[in-house]
Amino acid sequence: MNHQEQLKLQAYLDGELSSRQARRFAEYLAQEPAAQELLAELRQTKSVLSAHDPELKVPQSREFYWAQIERSLQSLASAAQPASTSPILAWLKWLAPIGAAAGLVLWLAPFPSSSGQYWPFVIENSAAEASCITFHSDSEGISVVWVDTSGI
Amino acid sequence: MIDRCAQMIRLLFALGMGWLLIGMSLNLSAAATDELALKVQLVWATDEAKPNDAKLKELDHRLRDKLRRVFKWKNYLEVNQQRCSLPLNVVKRLRMSAKYEIEVKYLKDQVEVKSYGEGKFLKKVLQPTAPLMVGEFLILAGDDKEKYEDAWFVVISAEKP
């Protein structure tokens, strides 16, 4: 193969030939064993080189490096901060124990009448009766007023 | 830990508010009625066995057991029963026996009860309505003059309308 043909072979391998030129060169390769051998050798060399290409990294400047760290710190700080609550909800949290205590007191206390007394009271006696006995049983739910009568 | 405490407190608050509303509604319901249904029973308390008298009836076992726990007598027999519906500030007179009468008057927060023996005024009692509305009893009691060891009770209770 002359120098021109070798260059054409390289171009063929790199896919730089037009489709018509590549077709014609393929026909030529089919008839030239030396060219085929060279093509195979070049292909292998190319595959080895591409597998071991070094990874290229963009060089980082010092400012870019510290800016990255600052950004990650800021994102961590915003994640640790609790979600903002409205003032109303904040007040409700303080009112909760007060409300619970008030509810319990009202639940346990008896419901008094408007007169302020829960049990019966005698407001008038006959002249014949000097005293009366009144008592209330919480457990039995009864109020008793002892009446002295002339008979039933 | 703090979050759990806060949740418990919120739950207690909700329960407390719930009971508060229930209590207010009970109070409101008691105060809001313009009519009160009463049941009045004349009860004879004795240690003797029940005589053969068709007019004497056994008390409801719950009331009977309640009286047994409070008073000394073994037997409690219903002699008479009266039911009435009391509009506000209206007086009703109920004859419980040949010698005994009571007057009842509904004053919304209280029930006024006047007792009369042989036509003579004996006593005036004011009973708060709220306990009656939750099933409590007012009992006017006295010695039986005819039988020394016995007693009589006038049991007043509220009935559901």
State the total domains in chain A.
Answer: 1
Alpha helices in B53-128 (DSSP H): 61-70
Q: Is residue A74 part of a domain?
A: no
Q: Are strands B137-143 and A142-146 parallel, antiparallel or unpaired?
A: parallel
Residue of B nearest to A124 (CA): B124
Strand partners, B93: B103
Q: Which residues contact A89 (CB under 8 A, 6 or more apart)?
A: none
State the total domains in chain B.
Answer: 2
**In a shared domain, residues B54 and B16:** no
Q: Is residue A65 part of a domain?
A: no
**In a shared domain, residues B66 and B99:** yes
Residue B92 in contact with residue B104, Cβ under 8 Å? yes
pLDDT digits (tens, 9 = 90+) for B92-122: 999 999 988 999 999 989 999 998 988 888 8
Strand partners, B91: B105
Domain hosting residue B5, numbered range: 1-32
Q: Is residue A120 part of a domain?
A: no
**In a shared domain, residues B16 and B70:** no
**In a shared domain, residues B118 and B47:** yes
**In a shared domain, residues B19 and B97:** no
**In a shared domain, residues B38 and B27:** no
* The pair of three-digit structure tokens given for residue B124, joined into one six-digit string: 């005036």
A81 Cα to chain B: minimum distance (Å):
16
Q: Is residue A23 part of a domain?
A: yes
State residue A118's pLDDT score: 63
Kindly indicate the confidence band of residue B19, based on its pLDDT and cuts at 50, 70 and 90. low
**In a shared domain, residues B50 and B112:** yes
Q: Is residue A38 part of a domain?
A: yes
**In a shared domain, residues B66 and B100:** yes
**In a shared domain, residues B60 and B139:** yes
Q: Which residues of chain B have a CB within 8 Å of the CB of A127? A: none
What's the order of all strands across the beta sheet hosting B110-117?
A121-125, B120-128, B110-117, B100-106, B91-95
Interchain pair A148, B139: CB under 8 A: no
Task: Give the pTM.
Answer: 0.55
Interchain pair A115, B125: CB under 8 A: no
Interchain pair A126, B122: CB under 8 A: yes
B115 Cα to chain A: minimum distance (Å):
9
Residue B106 in contact with residue B130, Cβ under 8 Å? no
Domain hosting residue A27, numbered range: 3-51
Q: How many CB atoms lie within 10 A of CB B37?
A: 15
Query: Comparing C-alpha atoms, which of B140, B161, B160, B136 is closest to residue B152?
Result: B140
Q: ipTM of the assembly?
A: 0.76
Kindly indicate the confidence band of residue A128, based on its pLDDT and cuts at 50, 70 and 90. low
CA count, 13 A, side-chain hemisphere, A59: 2
